[in-house]
Amino acid sequence: MTNIVVLVKQVPDTYSERKLSDSDFTLDRESADAVLDEINERAVEEALKITEAGEGEVTVLAVGPDRATDAIRKALSMGAHKAVHVSDPALHGSDVIATAKVIAAAIRRLDSVDLIIAGNASSDGGSGGVPAILAELLGMPQLTHARSVTVEGGTIKVDRETADEGVTHLEAQLPAVVSVTEKINEPRYPSFKGIMAAKKKPVETLTVADLGVDASEVGLDNAWSKVLEAAPKPPREAGQKIEDSGDGGVKIAEFLAAQKLI
């Protein structure tokens, strides 16, 4: 029996134009199509695989504005059992610490959570800090950057892969916090039956006050960091041409290695 909470986030579709709002430099959520972050689909997939192999329930947890229900529905249509949605205007502009506090409070309300799975970083903010901060707040071991996860009884084993350190093998006792990379799996797509079933699955909507979190701890005004200025990305520079005088392959390999792609 493994009860799993998956942290999900609605983000602007990476295919659409993404920008910060002119007024407070937070993400302009209206300007782009919003989707369930792809790394979260992988996190949901991993949770479903673990519960399908044994027993247990998958709860998705999202902190975000009302329209984040679409992302929650997607996770439910993939097969997650229920959802908790923390939505509160006071949360606008919250930093990673405030976000993690809210998530921790929402998780403490749930019965017997064995495992928390998150993506290693969102495709919008991309700070990658929430899983580690959350583990600290909940007093749980953190196993981040997982490219594979195995749960055996009360033990979790993870292959952790980062660009700088290569692969390390981690092991911890449950409950624990895991964050996964895009190498973890190929997420399933929802079936029509899953889409129909998702409509009947319970979604609990909570405010900051419901969680007993003080409003003075969250939101843009209470964030530890703030964006003071933003400018659009400079246009892409012209590519680099490599003349092949017999050593073209070596030069390409050197280029890729310099970019840390190989």
Of the residues 54, 126, 191, 221, which one makes contact with other proteins according to CB under 8 A: 191
Q: What is the DSSP string of 83-97?
A: EEEE--GGGTT--HH
Does position 14 interact with other proteins (CB under 8 A)? The reply is no
Does position 237 interact with other proteins (CB under 8 A)? The reply is no
Question: Whole-number minimum distance, CB 15 to other proteins, in Å?
Answer: 10
Does position 192 interact with other proteins (CB under 8 A)? The reply is yes
Of the residues 152, 153, 166, 193, which one makes contact with other proteins according to CB under 8 A: 193
Comparing CB distances to other proteins, the nearer of 137 and 197 is 197
Of the residues 1, 23, 30, 164, which one makes contact with other proteins according to CB under 8 A: 30
Comparing CB distances to other proteins, the nearer of 189 and 255 is 189
Comparing CB distances to other proteins, the nearer of 169 and 193 is 193
Does position 119 interact with other proteins (CB under 8 A)? The reply is no
Question: Whole-number minimum distance, CB 39 to other proteins, in Å?
Answer: 15
Stretch that binds other proteins, among 158-166, 183-191, 203-211, 226-234 (CB under 8 A): 183-191
Q: Are 84 and 76 in contact (CB under 8 A)?
A: no
Question: Whole-number minimum distance, CB 191 to other proteins, in Å?
Answer: 5
Annotate each residue in 58-77 with x if it binds other proteins (CB under 8 A) or - if it does not, as one string.
------------x--xx--x
User: Contacts by 217-220 with C-beta closer than 8 Å and gap 24+?
Assistant: 217/98, 217/101, 218/88, 218/90, 218/91, 218/94, 218/98, 218/101, 218/102, 219/90, 219/91, 219/92, 219/93, 219/94, 219/98, 220/24, 220/26, 220/92, 220/93, 220/94
Q: What is the torsional sign of CA 173, 178, 184, 187? A: positive
CA–CA separation, 234 and 218 (whole Å): 33
Question: Whole-number minimum distance, CB 35 to other proteins, in Å?
Answer: 9
Structure tokens at 184: 């973890």
- Cα 160 to Cα 19, 135, 153, 169: the distances in Å are 32, 16, 20, 6
CA–CA separation, 191 and 211 (whole Å): 34
Binding footprint of other proteins on the chain (CB under 8 A): 30-31, 70, 73-74, 77, 186, 189-193, 195-196, 199
